[in-house]
Every structure is written in structure tokens, then in C-alpha cells.
Amino acid sequence: MDAMPVILDKDLTRGRSAFEQWKEAARMEHDPRTADPALPRPVKAMAVRFSLHLLEQKAPGPGVEVRVAPWGAVKILDGPASDPHNLTPPDVIELDPDVWLRLASGITSWAEEKEAGHITAVGERDDLSDLLPLY
């Protein structure tokens, strides 16, 4: 059974717009490095889903699961797939939505967010800095 996509094809244009809207709002904040723009929940959700889609396209594979709760998770990079009994890959990265969007848009770096304690990562491949920003 195939996994459900993080965003539907029909929502890609809306997703790109939401991601751009989030980036613009974040850059307008006093300190973009701690950006958490007060945007409507559906806009943030769509921005997260679209950016996760971009990550999945950039580095497809079953080896690392990137979770941005509550709006999405994708599996990326080559490596061992999930254990059939567990369904969780050996490498898991969890991020809050605004942390993920700051990283995806290039406002902050992986090292900055990791040092600040904003990234939870388990496994050998716990650094996505080579994949970010997304564009």
C-alpha cells in the first residue's frame, strides 16, 4: 500500500503561495531567526505540506522520516526502509512547524536550530543541512 502524499497535486499552487506568504511574513518580523508569523492555521499547514513535498522531491528514499507535527511527515534519503513490524525508519527527525519553515526557507541554518535545541533527531543521519534551504 502506497503512503498518502503529504500534499495533493491539486494543492501545489496553493502550497507554493502559502510557503511564499510565510517566508515574506517571517522576514518582516523583528528577528526573523525566531520567526513565528501570526498567519492563519490553514496557511501554515499548507506551507509545511508544500515544503515537505519539496524536500521529498529533492531527496527521495525510505531511510529518514522527517516529521513536522501536526501537518506532515515524509520519508527521504536512501537507506534502510522501515522495519515491517515497526514502520518507523531507523532515522527520525522531528521539528515544530515554524522551525521547519525557517530551515526550509533559509532564514536559519541547521546548526543554529540544533544548537538552540529546536531539532529532535534520532539516528546516524540527523543533519539535513546539505538539503536546505529548499530553494
Residue 91 near residue 63 (C-beta atoms within 8 A) = yes
Confirm whether 3 is domain-assigned: no
List the chain pLDDT tens, one digit each, 135 residues.
Answer: 456 899 999 999 999 999 999 999 999 998 888 888 999 999 999 999 999 999 999 999 988 999 999 999 999 998 766 566 556 666 899 999 999 999 999 999 999 999 999 999 888 888 999 999 998
Confirm whether 59 is domain-assigned: yes
- Tally: H helices and E strands in the chain: 4, 4
Confirm whether 64 is domain-assigned: yes
Q: Global pTM?
A: 0.91
Closest CA to 98 of 56, 30, 41: 41
Confirm whether 6 is domain-assigned: no
Domain span at residue 97? Answer: 11-131
The domain that holds 46 is classified in CATH as 3.30.1050.40
Confirm whether 26 is domain-assigned: yes
Confirm whether 104 is domain-assigned: yes
Domain total in the chain: 1
